[in-house]
């Protein structure tokens, strides 16, 4: 923005700043003659300080839970209640006092029960201050709670924290800066309250009421001390609000004497489950699955994988779930009692807490085990850092260590390695597979990466649109996809639907191949996979000893120490792999041959 463009903004900002500051400056100038101490000033100050503090404590007692519930509810009743709670902000304080008289006045039911002690008393001052100041806390705290990711509390539930612990240790901790600001604003508003107080509790004098009485009886000069006291209190509280968030947070790591302890070797756990869950108008249904210790839910984004995982954790409301680890049924238990380790898509680390505090967050976390996992995952040197000081990959590893520090029998992993670089991802995948075999915990992995699934799963559940397309062992699903869509999702190259035309012949779109040792009959509908290594490039002048296939190069790339080429054979797309495909250009015409031993066929219904 140019200097000329900024000038009007600066002028407008300066105009308002002057309007707010000049009256304070004028008051300070009038103080050059010193201050006199009118009778009753200290008593009025004590009343305001005491009552504002009591009112703020009462407001906090009910206002913080109310703000939390309003932030977590999406109902129409909550929206109406939120608007009603804010009404005192829209009312002149004088009218707020009149409204309070209808409830606690000396001639009301409550007034008679308490013998008129609810008005013209310290109690009356507290009631007036609480009514007008409460919305400041509720609105600020509600906004702070709404900004807290609900997934933080969900992860805390899987770690064993009950509802009250999730509110106090997780939500309130994360929202505390906003809640603290609301408390300070509420105290300031209560301390400066006049209109409702003068109606409900004229006596004993609070500082604002005392200042009004002095002004009414003795003029402007008698108000200097009360105004100075009020300004001083406001400056002190606002300075505290400004400085407190910047106070340093003491980093904490594992105690120096703590010895890392490896998980004990245990018998491998088995897992079986079924789930049906709904999110809005989307439904996911997974039929009963029984597997060994490593299951993968494989599918594209939006397939329902994460919803299934949340249902297994007990986090999807209204879900129907059966889940069994070994012989222990978990489906009817709340999330905090399932003993499951959960690693969500986002690391969901608590703000302002160190890596060590994150890893030992669970009530059942074992510090020695947490220290061991920090070492195994390369995080030991980062134990004193906070989330904002970590990279995305480091945060993911912290979330994994947090889940494993509780020695869970089942670990649910929602794309845990997606934010890691290729080398680290491969290392951690191998390490996780090794440790799973060593310690015996079961895993359910959500992924869209077939290579990751091949490394970490024994049973594969291919899911799309909320329904299971195919499930079975890793070898079965990857070798014989049940459909073209499953073949795409598991990454099987060169899969096409075809028909057997005669003995040892397969007709594909724009291509006929000879099969070796085929037991298929003419007319059989099959799915066929051509191994990329079986697609051979023929050099110029070389006789293929059979039918030559003419193709056009659509893409040629070096991939992982080899070369891949995407070829077009009429309307058919083929992937070829090998060193012979180096140096090709897009659009180049080549001749190829396909080794019959590299062609597999299977019946779609058999998968």
Residue in 426, 386, 381 with CA at minimum distance from that of residue 560: 426
Instruction: State how far the Cα of 527 lies from the Cα of 518, in Å rounded to an integer.
Output: 14
More confident position, 421 or 184: 184
The values of phi and psi at residue 551, to 5°, are -140, 160
pTM of the model: 0.79
Phi, psi of 356 (to 5 degrees): -65, -40
Residue 505, beta-bridge partner list: 502, 514
Which pLDDT does position 428 carry in this prediction?
82
**Which residues make beta-bridge pairs with 470?**
462
Sign of the dihedral through C-alpha 138, 144, 149, 154: negative
Q: Which residue has the tokens 């249902």?
A: 311
Whole-number percent of the chain with pLDDT over 90: 37
Mean pLDDT of the chain: 86
Q: Which residues pair with 498 in a beta bridge?
A: 526
- Output helix, strand, coil percentages for the chain, rounded to the nearest 5: 50, 20, 30
**Comparing C-alpha atoms, which of 44, 64, 45 is closest to residue 56?**
64
Give the highest mean pLDDT range of 323-332, 358-367, 512-521, 540-549: 358-367
Q: Does residue 290 have a cis bond before it (omega within 30 degrees)?
A: no
Which pLDDT score, from 0 to 100, does residue 241 have?
Answer: 62
CA-CA distances (angstroms) from residue 475 to 269, 457, 489? 21, 10, 15
First to last CA, the chain: 63
- Domain borders along the chain are 27-246, 271-479, 493-606
Q: Is the pLDDT of residue 419 over 70?
A: no
HEC per residue, 413-425? EECCCCCCCHHHH
CA atoms of 297 and 447, how far apart (whole Å): 6
Across the range 238-251, mean pLDDT stands at 59
Q: What was the pLDDT predicted at 246?
A: 45
- Confidence check: pLDDT of 260 > 80: no
Q: Which CATH architecture has domain 27-246?
A: Orthogonal Bundle (1.10)
**Contact yes or no for 554/566 (Cβ under 8 A):** yes
Lowest-pLDDT choice from 223-227, 296-300, 403-407, 479-483 = 223-227
The answer for 561, left when phi > 0, alpha when psi is -120 to 50, beta otherwise, is left
Let me know: does 253 contact 382? Beta carbons within 8 Å. Answer: no
3-state secondary structure of 588: coil
SS3 530: strand
pLDDT above 90 (res 418) = no
Instruction: Write down the residue that tokens 């000329």 correspond to.
Output: 4
Contact (Cβ atoms closer than 8 angstroms) between residue 447 and residue 272: no
Any residues with CB less than 8 A from the CB of 449 and at least 6 apart, and which?
none
Residue 475 has pLDDT above 70, yes or no: yes
Per-residue pLDDT band at 215 (split at 50, 70, 90) = confident
Residue 86 has pLDDT above 60, yes or no: yes
The confidence band for 413, taking pLDDT boundaries of 50, 70 and 90, is very high
pLDDT of residue 5: 56
Q: Are 266 and 379 in contact (CB under 8 A)?
A: no
Mean pLDDT over residues 450-459, rounded?
A: 90
Q: How far apart are CA 20 and CA 37, in angstroms?
A: 27
For residues 4-8, give the mean pLDDT.
Answer: 65
* DSSP secondary structure, 97-117, as one string: HHHHHHHHSTTSHHHHHTTTT
Strand order in the sheet with 459-464: 328-329, 320-325, 271-279, 282-291, 467-473, 459-464, 294-298, 442-447, 410-414, 340-343
Rounded CA-CA distance 240/187 in Å is 13
At 485-504, the pLDDT tens digits run 998 899 888 988 899 887 67
Say yes or no to pLDDT of 13 above 50. Answer: yes
Q: What average pLDDT does this structure show over 61-66? A: 96
What is the rounded CA–CA span in Å between residue 167 and residue 382? 28
In DSSP notation, 210-256 reads HHHHHHHHH-GGGGHHHHHHHHHHHHHHHHHHHHGGGSPPPP--S-T
The H or E element that residue 398 is part of is helix 392-404
Between residues 313 and 427, the one the model is more confident about: 313
In this structure, the number of other CB atoms found within 10 A of the CB of residue 434 comes to 10
The predicted structure's pLDDT at residue 544: 47
Check residue 20 and give its pLDDT: 85
Task: Tell whether the model's pLDDT for residue 607 goes beyond 50.
Answer: no
Distance (Å, whole) CA 478 – CA 474: 6
What is the model's pLDDT at position 21? 86
What pLDDT score was predicted for residue 467?
Answer: 93
CA–CA separation, 362 and 401 (whole Å): 11
pLDDT tens column, 132-172:
999 999 999 999 999 999 989 999 999 999 999 999 999 99
Q: Are strands 572-577 and 442-447 parallel, antiparallel or unpaired?
A: unpaired
Length of the chain equals 607
Q: What is the pLDDT of residues 273-299, one digit of tens each?
A: 889 999 888 999 999 887 778 899 999
Instruction: Give dist(CA 379, CA 373) in Å, integer.
Output: 8
- The answer, yes or no, to whether residue 263 has pLDDT greater than 70, is yes
Residue 301: pLDDT over 70 = yes
H or E stretch at 574:
strand 572-577
State mean pLDDT over 24-44.
73
CATH class of domain segment(s) 271-479 = alpha beta
Q: What is the pLDDT of residues 112-128, one digit of tens each?
A: 999 989 999 999 999 99
């Amino acid at each position: 923005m140019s200097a000329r463009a900024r000038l009007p903004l600066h002028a407008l900002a300066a105009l308002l700043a002057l309007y707010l500051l000049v009256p304070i400056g004028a008051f300070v100038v009038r103080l050059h003659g010193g201050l006199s101490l009118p009778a009753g000033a200290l008593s009025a100050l004590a009343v305001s300080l005491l009552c504002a503090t009591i009112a703020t404590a009462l407001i906090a007692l009910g206002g913080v839970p109310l703000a939390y519930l309003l932030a977590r509810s999406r109902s129409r009743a909550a929206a109406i209640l939120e608007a009603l709670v804010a009404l005192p902000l829209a009312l002149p304080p004088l009218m707020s006092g009149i409204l309070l008289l209808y409830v606690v006045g000396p001639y009301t039911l409550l007034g008679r029960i308490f013998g008129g002690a609810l008005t013209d008393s310290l109690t009356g001052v507290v009631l007036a201050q609480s009514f007008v100041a409460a919305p400041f806390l509720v609105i600020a705290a509600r906004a702070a709670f709404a900004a807290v990711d609900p997934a933080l509390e969900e992860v805390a539930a899987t770690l064993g924290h009950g509802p009250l612990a999730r509110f106090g240790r997780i939500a309130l901790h994360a929202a505390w800066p906003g809640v603290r600001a609301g408390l300070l604003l509420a105290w300031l508003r209560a301390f400066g309250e006049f209109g409702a107080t003068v109606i409900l509790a004229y006596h004993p004098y609070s500082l604002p009421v005392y200042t009004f009485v002095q002004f009414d009886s003795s003029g402007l000069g008698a108000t200097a001390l009360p105004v100075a006291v009020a300004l001083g209190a406001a400056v002190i509280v606002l300075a505290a609000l400004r400085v407190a968030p910047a106070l340093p947070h003491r980093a904490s790591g594992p105690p120096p004497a703590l010895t890392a302890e490896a998980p004990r070797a245990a018998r491998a756990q088995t897992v079986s489950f079924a789930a049906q869950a709904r999110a809005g108008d989307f439904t996911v249904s997974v039929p009963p699955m029984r597997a060994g210790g490593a299951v993968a839910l494989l599918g594209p984004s939006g397939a329902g994988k994460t919803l299934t995982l949340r249902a297994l954790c007990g986090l999807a409301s209204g879900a129907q779930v059966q889940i069994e680890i070994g012989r222990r049924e978990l489906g009817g238990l709340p999330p905090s009692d399932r003993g499951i380790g959960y690693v969500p898509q986002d690391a969901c680390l608590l703000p302002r807490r160190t890596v060590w505090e994150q890893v030992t967050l669970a009530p059942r976390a074992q510090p020695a085990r947490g220290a061991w996992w920090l070492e195994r995952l390369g995080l030991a040197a980062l134990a004193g850092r906070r989330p904002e000081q970590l990279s995305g990959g480091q945060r993911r590893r912290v979330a994994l260590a947090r889940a494993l520090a509780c020695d869970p029998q089942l670990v649910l992993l929602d794309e845990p390695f997606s934010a890691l670089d290729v080398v680290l991802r491969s290392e951690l995948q191998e390490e996780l597979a090794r440790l799973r075999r060593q310690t015996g915990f079961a895993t359910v992995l959500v992924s869209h990466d077939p290579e990751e699934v091949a490394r970490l799963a024994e049973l594969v559940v291919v899911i799309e649109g909320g329904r299971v397309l195919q499930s079975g062992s890793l070898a079965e699903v990857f070798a014989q996809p049940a459909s073209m869509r499953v073949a795409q999702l598991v990454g099987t190259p060169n899969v096409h639907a075809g028909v057997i035309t005669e003995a040892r012949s397969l007709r594909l779109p724009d291509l006929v191949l000879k099969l070796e040792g085929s037991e298929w009959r003419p007319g059989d509908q099959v799915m066929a996979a051509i191994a990329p290594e079986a697609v051979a490039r023929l050099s110029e002048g070389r006789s293929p000893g059979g039918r030559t296939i003419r193709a056009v190069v659509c893409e040629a790339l070096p991939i992982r120490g080899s070369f891949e080429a995407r070829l077009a054979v009429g309307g058919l797309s083929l992937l070829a792999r090998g060193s012979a495909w180096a140096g090709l250009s897009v659009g180049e015409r080549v001749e190829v041959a396909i080794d019959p031993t590299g062609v597999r066929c299977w019946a779609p219904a058999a998968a």
